[in-house]
Amino acid sequence: MFAQVHYPESLSKEELDEYLLEGWFRNGQRIFTTNFLNFDDQLYSAIWLRINIHTLEPEKGLAKLAKLNAGFTMSIQQASITPEKEALFQKYKTGVTFSAAQSLQTLLYGDSTMDIFPTLEITLFDNGKLIALGYFDTGLKSVAGIISFYDPEYKKNSLGKYLILLKLQYCKDNQFDFFYPGYFAPYYPAFDYKLQIGRESLSYLRLENNAWESIDTFVPEKNPYQTMVTMLTTMEQRLKEVEISGAVFNYTFFEANIIPTLRGLNLFDFPVFLSCFNYSHQNVHLLIVYDVIYQCYHLVECKSVWKSEDVEEKPGFYSGHLLKMNKHVCSTKTPDEMAAILAKALLPKQDSNS
């Protein structure tokens, strides 16, 4: 599954390490993973990152920023939320272009009354005024950077980067193995700053083999989402050659599995698919998807579990039904093989229904 969420009632430091190793991240008091994102009706791959603390070279920028910010008071302690911190977060949100959590309370706790994560905070004060704050979770051998934010009036002080470098220094001082800064999204620049810190020790979790590899081996244009689009577009053209109609759509509900009210339904979660010749019978849909893990095409039968009555379809998106995979029909390595199967077995059904 490309998107999952767990709601543990408790979480040991060892368990947090294991979740981080597999590309999971906390949201409120739940922990989730996803491999695809939707920002402003454009889909992207979510590429999870980690920094190896043992190979991390001394950051020259830390000394420079420490000198620049020497007049501020820094402290690290158990995390908490206060009206002052909430006010700073709301002020910070006014200066960012991406969508942020509604509040610190939402970000750290959601609607839960539990607190299962071992969270610390770094605070920076300027003559008693809170100007920057960073939260991070500590496992046994791993640390997850949750969020860093600051007063926009201090933008020239690079406090966002400074907080991350302070978190890395904390990891070094306390002999942690890895720091997990979350994900970045190729071609979505808001998260590119994560690629510039600790670059020599930075790895990404490759979806194809679920292994951590050097970020220097990452090829942006071959990210999983783009690979799926490319392969399905090729498939669409091949079907046209054998006079079978089809169209590639982004799937609006690809992250439905992490919605609390849909928990446990194991819904269809491919972010993009090829719909075959408009075949639909009793809310059953025949789709072709490209599997980047096994590098093959799958023909699948999906069943609608919910139909939108008044949805406004966006160009290139499918939003009419919430889908659940009903049956795996077949798999092929090449477009030619899939086209031959469809032309032989499925095209007559289209003729009989016309």
Residue type, 81: I
Per-residue pLDDT band for 260 (boundaries 50, 70, 90) equals: confident
User: Which tokens in the block code for residue 130?
Assistant: 């809170």
Rounded to 10 degrees, the C-alpha dihedral 323/325/329/334 comes to: 70
Distances (CA, A) of 244 to 169, 277, 299, 347, 351: 59, 6, 14, 7, 11
pLDDT digits (tens, 9 = 90+) for 235-255: 999 999 988 888 999 999 999
Quote the pLDDT of residue 59: 76
**Cβ–Cβ < 8 Å for 194, 167:** no
Start-to-end C-alpha separation, the chain? 36
Please, which residues bridge with residue 39 across strands? 42
* pLDDT winner (highest mean) among 90-94, 294-298, 350-354: 294-298
C-alpha–C-alpha distance, residues 161 and 105, integer Å: 23
- Enumerate domains of the chain plus CATH numbers: 3-218 (3.40.630.30), 224-353 (no CATH)
**Cβ–Cβ < 8 Å for 37, 185:** yes
C-alpha–C-alpha distance, residues 56 and 70, integer Å: 24
pLDDT digits (tens, 9 = 90+) for 85-116: 999 999 999 877 677 789 999 999 988 878 99
pLDDT digits (tens, 9 = 90+) for 3-41: 999 999 999 999 999 999 999 999 999 999 999 999 999
The sign of the dihedral angle between the CA atoms of 201, 202, 206, 212 is positive
Average pLDDT over residues 160-181: 97
pTM for the predicted model, two decimal places: 0.93
**């919605």: which residue's tokens?**
259
Does residue 83 surpass a pLDDT of 70?
yes
